[in-house]
Structure 1
């Protein structure tokens, strides 16, 4: 069996904590909790002061995930995003400050990536069965796709602040879908909440997006495995996480299957089709929200042109791994792995 491959981010905080002589800390107790939220599963590993228990931890996570639902859930008729999607043309829809900020981040990334991440594809997402309506009986026709794409376009959104209100104007029939960034944002919020409450040693994972803070009591970082995909040519890959997040996008978690063909849930707004040929893209970033969004964006760019995706990852100084399927689509052929220069520099080659 091949040895593990290890990636160690050059984190100043990690080095500082390793160098700092240990002090007599409060006794910390390990907790491992699991649950469901935002239509997916979450897990928490944490070392917690004795006066804080499991129920308190669950309450913190529940409050933060409920805040995410109130802003971004397509399944809630009262969420900010649903209110926007059902607004009449020309109506200025108020958003909370943090909801507005997430939307602005998404629009900025859309401009940077030529729409590779586009929060205005809600109609297309629903058409392919990745929204509240569920899976269609068959893949949509080209005419259906053109109809769904017609009202989309991140350039159509206009935001403004008026009398301390943050508003986005509904241009007409445009449906927002922020699922490509909202889970990562929620992970950041949970992690920040735990830190504010004194839980400064934890690993929180939500639907494939994870963030780790602090060193464990044994002064080890949180070791997280890069998602294993069938056909991955490399050895088992571990990342030392400390004050760092990791997000993975690909075609193995959510998909539509029809007549023996699998359609990935990541959609390209240029052609309205699911991305093909990209098994997984993983991104390391201090922000789980940006790791989430960039994993989606690089997946779309890799589906268009793998060289373009790697160029973008290099230009943006992203630590990213791309696993691409063979051009002929043969299931028995190994995947092709590509590491961005920033991730390759983290590879520990100590014998």
Structure 2
């Protein structure tokens, strides 16, 4: 996604890399307080990445996963408890489609190698998948089966967007954008009263956009089948894995959602990708603007007045 419309003379921005993605924080009006506020926001993103990364042995997630199958539960800090409570609510709202235990399926699905797993490989892992097996009584969590895993990848980046935006607002930054790999949140209002405009990437053409979404405040997140995937015999297999089947989501090329917080926008877009033919009723029930691109590349819009067609130059 790209942002347009900020004054080149007043804008301050910093590019960095986090959570496997190119990231940017931009502030419309630079003051002496801007640089330290942005540095603090970036530090917060890196803190969250380190805390919830499944690739770090010292992360909370690794600590939880190492305890799988042991008799004693793991006691967790307030921040992690809050994220788990949110994930529980998303699991219920999605009918079980949104599930933090699906990380174990990546033992079968290697999107870097592009190898299609066998049905037997997936079936062997399915007993380790399912939030209903988890014992969660705040602040204690227990994964009952050895080999079970939690994966915060579906909420960690979006949570980091919200936390960075909160720190900027608390530092008195009047108008800013936090963009972590295309998941973003606006802080405050632009001086001219105009919205920030974001181009939604075309899921089949990296050099094109399918729509330009104006955002005065709040957040925007997109889930799609075009970032981590492979194709075999004309069928695309993406990284969004369904806990009910063990196979990738099908039916939608991308779904973008506007919400007050990025955590909500990202979770809703991911759930919709997983719901397949039930995505549109679910999205409309949320009462939020959305743009969904179906398997044939056709758009479906929610609150279309908030989602104008793409214009040249946006």
Does TM, normalized by the shorter one, top 0.5?
yes
Classify 1:94/1:277 alpha carbon distance in 2 versus 1 (closer, same or farther; 3 Å).
Answer: same
Which is greater in Rg? 1
Offset, 1:67 = 2.4
Residue of 132, 136, 141 corresponding to 1:168: 141
Query: Take 1:33 and 1:92, find their aligned partners in 2: how far apart are those partners?
Result: 41
Query: Take 1:138 and 1:72, find their aligned partners in 2: how far apart are those partners?
Result: 27
Secondary structure of the structure 2 residue equivalent to 1:33: strand
Residue of 288, 291, 298 corresponding to 1:336: 298
Counterpart residue number, 2:174: 200
Counterpart residue number, 2:80: 99
CA contact (8 A) 2:203 2:253 kept: yes
Classify 1:92/1:48 alpha carbon distance in 2 versus 1 (closer, same or farther; 3 Å).
Answer: farther
Counterpart residue number, 1:346: 306
Any idea what the Cα deviations from partners look like across 1:237-276, whole Å, max 9, x if unmatched? 2222122101101111122355775421111122111122
Counterpart residue number, 2:62: 82
* Number of aligned residues: 298
Query: Take 1:260 and 1:75, find their aligned partners in 2: how far apart are those partners?
Result: 32
CA contact (8 A) 1:325 1:336 kept: yes
Any idea what the Cα deviations from partners look like across 1:51-79, whole Å, max 9, x if unmatched? 1354x255213321222124321111111
Counterpart residue number, 1:272: 246
**2:291 paired with 1:321:** yes
CA contact (8 A) 2:37 2:171 kept: no
Structure 1 runs of 4+ aligned residues shifted over 3 Å read 229-232, 256-262
> TM-score, with normalisation over the residues of structure 2?
0.87
CA contact (8 A) 2:34 2:173 kept: no
Secondary structure of the structure 2 residue equivalent to 1:318: coil
> TM-score, with normalisation over the residues of structure 1?
0.78
**2:274 paired with 1:300:** yes
Query: Take 1:221 and 1:266, find their aligned partners in 2: how far apart are those partners?
Result: 31
Query: Take 1:313 and 1:262, find their aligned partners in 2: how far apart are those partners?
Result: 23
CA contact (8 A) 1:215 1:222 kept: no
Secondary structure of the structure 2 residue equivalent to 1:226: strand
Q: How does 1:44-193 map to 2 (within 5 A)?
A: 44-54=25-35, 56-89=36-69, 90-129=71-110, 135-136=112-113, 138-161=115-138, 166-172=139-145, 173-193=147-167
Counterpart residue number, 2:312: none
Any idea what the Cα deviations from partners look like across 1:19-67, whole Å, max 9, x if unmatched? xxxxxxxxx942121110112111112134421354x255213321222
CA contact (8 A) 2:229 2:238 kept: yes
Query: Take 1:96 and 1:65, find their aligned partners in 2: how far apart are those partners?
Result: 18
Offset, 1:319 = 2.0
CA contact (8 A) 1:35 1:43 kept: yes
Classify 1:294/1:187 alpha carbon distance in 2 versus 1 (closer, same or farther; 3 Å).
Answer: same
**2:12 paired with 1:39:** no
Secondary structure of the structure 1 residue equivalent to 2:223: strand
Cα-Cα RMSD:
2.4
Q: How does 1:193-232 map to 2 (within 5 A)?
A: 193-230=167-204
CA contact (8 A) 1:127 1:136 kept: no
Any idea what the Cα deviations from partners look like across 1:88-110, whole Å, max 9, x if unmatched? 42331122212211121112111
Secondary structure of the structure 2 residue equivalent to 1:280: strand
Offset, 1:180 = 1.2
Query: Take 1:284 and 1:175, find their aligned partners in 2: how far apart are those partners?
Result: 30
CA contact (8 A) 1:281 1:298 kept: yes
CA contact (8 A) 1:188 1:287 kept: yes
Query: Take 1:109 and 1:292, find their aligned partners in 2: how far apart are those partners?
Result: 11
Unpaired segments of 5 or more residues in structure 1? Answer: 1-27, 327-334
Secondary structure of the structure 2 residue equivalent to 1:116: coil
Offset, 1:81 = 0.9
Query: Take 1:30 and 1:214, find their aligned partners in 2: how far apart are those partners?
Result: 14
